A and B are shown apart, each in its own frame.
Chain A
Amino acid sequence: MICGLDLGSRNVKIALMEGNELKGTYIYDTMQFYRAYARKQEGKLVVDFKRLGLPPAEKVVSTGYGRLTVEVAGAAVIPEIKAHVLGAVYQTGRKDFTLIDLGGQDSKVIQVKNGKVADFMTNDKCAASSGRYLENMAAVLGIDLEELSKHYERPVELNSTCAVFGETELIGKIVEGYSIPSLAAGVNYTIFKRILPMVKKMGNKVIVFTGGVAYNEALKNIMEKELNVEVLVPALPQFNGALGCCIYGGES
């Protein structure tokens, strides 16, 4: 059994694989995970797999934002980009595509050629194009993420580059009387416009869309419509990194 661990900024994702077969996926709130299931010992993070209710794994491979601040004891560590590419190749069976991974705080656009990373770009100083932004905006609109992700038609124009000021701008649009679908579509378009320069630089005819934000169907539709490309959302977009860790563990 191989355990893949993706330590994200909002969630910790775990995948278990036996050979090439997926045995289970688990997701935890990041803060809760660190508080309840892990403790720091001699500078390393010891994960209480028993308490998590997981069967013992022969090998643990980890990735994610947390890996530099918390090295998981007994785990091999791989860079996120690598984990995500391995996961996407495994999940889609494709070898040439542009991978767009939008997570809690990170946006990554990776050009994959023949199953390997050819180039990549990520957001750097600003997280306005991430899942956290969508959560905040949905809260302002008083709807959940599922409802937010339905709308992409007749979007309102939102201009703010700052996610916090974006909330104020959205409130202004609510006052002006725009409908919730239009406002939600505007929010989804904002994400698209934010990642567009990166996508254009990494251009490809096929996009594989992963990360928690990939559950947003409106964004998938917007990408297909605006870029005129095939957009594949694999079965487990949020577990893509954790699956990539398992694949790496199986190969190495």
Chain B
Amino acid sequence: MRKIGITTTVPVEVIYAAGCIPVDINNIFITGEHPQQKVEAAEIAGYPRNVCGWIKGLYTTILEEKDIREVIAVTQGDCTNTHALMETLELQGVKTIPFAFPFDRDKDLLRLQIEKLMAYFEVDWEQVLIVKKRLDAIRKKVWEIDRLTWEENRVSGFDNHLFQVNCSDFKGEPESFDREISQFLERACHAPELKQDVRLGFIGVPPIISGLYHYLESIGARVVFNEIQRQFTMPFETDDLVEQYRLYTYPYHVLNRIEDIKREIKRRNLDGLIHYTQSFCFRQIEDLIFRQELDVPILTLEGDKPAQLDARSKMRIDAFVEMLRWNK
């Protein structure tokens, strides 16, 4: 079956409706063997050192995945490095399909973008909405994993991250992903209650570094809110596909994200937030907005290349968790 690469969440219903398989390149890059080498390979090809590690990893991964020859390029609503990523991929013979999330969440413009995507894949609304129904049922189960994380304290921060992040492409096989979720839920419902006393939110893009969630839990803190990962599950009930991708906060103005984060801080009773950004990312600028707008302590954590959580970050995390506990 035709595989379509995606580099961020897009209306995946359209791809499935066309009988194609979406592949979130981020996930295969970071879970593959030697992700660090993929970043280095992109640098050897000419990508600058001071550019986001995700972009470099995506570049090499796409070139290595020979059965992915078409990639959806999100030209607005993700990151501007994507432009150069797509240009350099085209140079290597990869076809790019442009898609833009309008910055102001304009419904008509978004509808037009989705319909252009549908025209490319030669599908109609009826086919797309059938897929939406199927995927929504799976999404609802992942919402339950999220609820079990923050309300019943039975799911770890990492499992919460993993199941939610996989909702960008449903691992290319919605049916088997659905079964995996059901099996997990069966176990999670009866899992013993987790006892960490410091409740954290993780805001920002999924981390390129590994070991963060486990380290936090080892020192008595737990992530009970993964902001962007949760957005990948489209956590809002609507039958309207355009509205669904309009409510999705990530690609638009940061103030929409702030509204969502504020609501969840309260609902989930969070003690503090970790704002994760990539080195050299424009989102580092947005850190000042979060610090100004959100009334909880924030630790800004910066990841560069794929690696285990380093000693300096651990030191900063220790101090942050200790501070939250001290002030409780």
Chain A residues proximal to chain B, CB less than 8 Å: 65, 68-69, 78-82, 116-122, 124-125, 201
Contact = CB atoms under 8 A, between A and B. Distances in A.
B192 interface: no
Contacts of A117: 319, 322-323, 326-327
B316 interface: yes
B87 interface: no
Nearest to B317: A79
Contacts of B314: 68
A121 B279 CA distance: 16
B304 interface: yes
18 contacts: A65-B312, A68-B314, A78-B322, A79-B318, A79-B319, A80-B315, A81-B323, A82-B319, A116-B327, A117-B319, A117-B322, A117-B326, A117-B327, A120-B319, A120-B320, A120-B323, A122-B316, A125-B304
B271 to A, nearest CB: 13
Interface of B: 279, 291, 297, 300, 302, 304, 311-316, 318-320, 322-323, 326-327
B312 A124 contact: yes
Most buried by A among B291, B302, B311, B323: B323
Given A81-B323, A120-B323, A201 B315 contact: no
A125 B279 contact: yes
Interface core residue of B297, B304, B314, B316 (most chain A CB under 10 Å): B316
B311 A79 contact: no
Contacts of B311: 65, 68-69
Contact of B322 (A65, A68, A82, A121): A82
A201 B319 contact: no
B297 A81 contact: no
Given A69-B311, A117-B327, 13 more contacts: A65-B315, A79-B322, A80-B315, A81-B319, A81-B322, A82-B326, A116-B323, A116-B327, A117-B319, A120-B319, A121-B300, A124-B302, A124-B312
A236 to B, nearest CB: 22
B82 to A, nearest CB: 23
A18 B262 CA distance: 48
B315 A79 contact: yes
Contacts of B326: 82, 116-117
A201 B323 CA distance: 17
A69 B302 CA distance: 20
